[in-house]
């Protein structure tokens, strides 16, 4: 994806029937709004997530990023948008902006992407377990429990 983003591969008309993913998300309280005409360059968002991991609440930041992109249809490749989301997640906005402008986390994100590709990851989301097993796509909680059992781990009840 180029830094300026790209036209969306397909634009789903508002009147189209909900997709299985949209229905599954709806059941979990996740909304996917339609109308996106461009796909964001997500590298900066991934860099901002690395900043959040080191400096604050990365889970809250991730939730805000997903809401911004899928529900609010914002451009998560835009530094101003990422800084606003960071501040909403109680991150230091000025420090986040400096990290993004300086590309402080670019190499770390690139290494993670290379690692993922070396495992054969070709789609998002892909969940990697024990660096040997992968689940591609969105899955119900029971699928994760089954994977944990396969790995000899006790899955949590929540």
Q: How much is the pTM?
A: 0.80
The burial of 137, by beta-carbon neighbours within 10 Å (0-12 exposed, 13-18 middle, 19 or more buried), is given as: exposed
Sorted by where each begins, the domain ranges of the chain are 6-118, 119-158
Both tokens of 30, joined, read 């996740």
6-118 belongs to which CATH class?
A: alpha beta
Nearest C-alpha neighbor of 99 from the set 62, 59, 50, 61: 50
Residue 25 reports pLDDT greater than 90: no
Q: What gap in Å lies between CA 44 and CA 100, rounded to an integer?
A: 7
Number of other CB atoms surrounding residue 82 within 10 Å: 30
Find the radius of gyration of the CA atoms of the chain: 17
Helices (H), 93-140: 93-102, 106-118
Question: What value does the mean pLDDT take over residues 137-148?
Answer: 85
61-69 average pLDDT score: 93
């Amino acid at each position: 994806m180029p830094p300026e983003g790209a036209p969306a591969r397909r634009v789903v008309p508002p009147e189209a029937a909900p997709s299985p993913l949209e229905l599954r998300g709806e059941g979990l309280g996740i909304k996917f709004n339609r109308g996106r005409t461009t796909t964001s360059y997500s590298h900066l968002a991934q860099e901002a997530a690395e900043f959040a991991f080191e400096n604050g609440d990365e889970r809250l930041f991730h939730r805000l990023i997903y809401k911004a992109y899928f529900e609010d249809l914002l451009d998560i490749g835009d530094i101003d948008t990422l800084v606003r989301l960071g501040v909403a997640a109680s991150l230091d906005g000025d420090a986040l902006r400096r990290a993004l402008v300086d590309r402080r986390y670019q190499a770390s994100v690139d290494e993670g992407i290379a690692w993922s590709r070396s495992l054969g990851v070709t789609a998002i989301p892909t969940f990697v377990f024990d660096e040997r097993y992968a689940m591609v796509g969105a899955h119900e909680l029971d699928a994760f429990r089954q994977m944990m059992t396969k790995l000899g781990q006790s899955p949590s009840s929540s």
